Structure 1
């Protein structure tokens, strides 16, 4: 699969480095810029890379980082332990993630991303999953995205990646 060089350049500008093992853009901001990329289950050197969906938007990453600094992951993990329906939904998200990744290349591991299914570790990974697959799959990714709101409204993301 060939990745569009313009997308690679946009993601490189967002991350400040060349993206690793990028397969394609899994989600775009309403302004058209990449928000989430799908990555290969293995890096170019063969190292396993279990993070299938990688958040690239710096504005969204910053807002999610603020939520993390406020302790949202701890609060979410506590709710996960006390709400069987939420735990079951998060387990299903984990299983869906594994199935999607293993359809590309099985790694022989049940490690996914964001702490699934036993805890909430990284809102960036969970939000990336939600954006890539749509709402209703990853409850904590959906919740984090709802809390940050419309991150793209300040000004077009293209201004962030073009140096303006």
Structure 2
């Protein structure tokens, strides 16, 4: 897979994403994942928004079903379980650290923002903070890249 893994958004994509978010989509540079019907599920967002502010969440989850799935898991406290798994499993920690590095590398291909140096999203590389960001990364990068995102997708039963 070429990096970063996204396609240029069409005007219709931007309109769809804006509807999904309930606000104007900002800084979208690509569609990083789609559902089985071709509807945007994850956008790639510029690391610097049009107003100049830094934006670390490169892979932004926008599909309503995926957002709801992440929210259900967060409400159930699954992040605590995943944090315990990270604390106990060296292999998982190493894979999560690699996901963090890949996330930053993908974003840096679009633009490097000094304020974001070393920062990815979702709590990577040491904790699980936001399943929305981790699921977005896992959907964009594909299985096997972000282990916590993969676990969350599996646990949620999400099928896009």
TM-score normalised per structure 2: 0.91
Following superposition, which runs of at least 4 residues in structure 1 exceed 6 angstroms of deviation?
none
Aligned to 1:136: 144
What is the alpha-carbon root mean square deviation over aligned residues? 1.3
1: distance between equivalents of 2:101 and 2:69? 27
What is the CA-CA distance between 1:151 and the residue it aligns to?
4.0
- Which SS does the other structure have where 1:26 is aligned? strand
Q: Is 1:124 aligned with 2:129?
A: no
Tell which structure's C-alpha radius of gyration is larger.
1
What is the CA-CA distance between 1:73 and the residue it aligns to?
0.6
Matched residue count: 152
Q: Is 1:33 aligned with 2:2?
A: no
User: Which structure 2 segments of 5+ residues have no match?
Assistant: 1-6
1:97 equivalent among 103, 111, 131: 103
Taking the TM superposition and a 5 Å limit, the aligned residue runs for 1:17-96 are 17-96=23-102
2: distance between equivalents of 1:54 and 1:124? 8
2:154 equivalent among 123, 146, 153: 146
TM-score normalised per structure 1: 0.89
User: Which structure 1 segments of 5+ residues have no match?
Assistant: 153-164
1: distance between equivalents of 2:87 and 2:51? 38
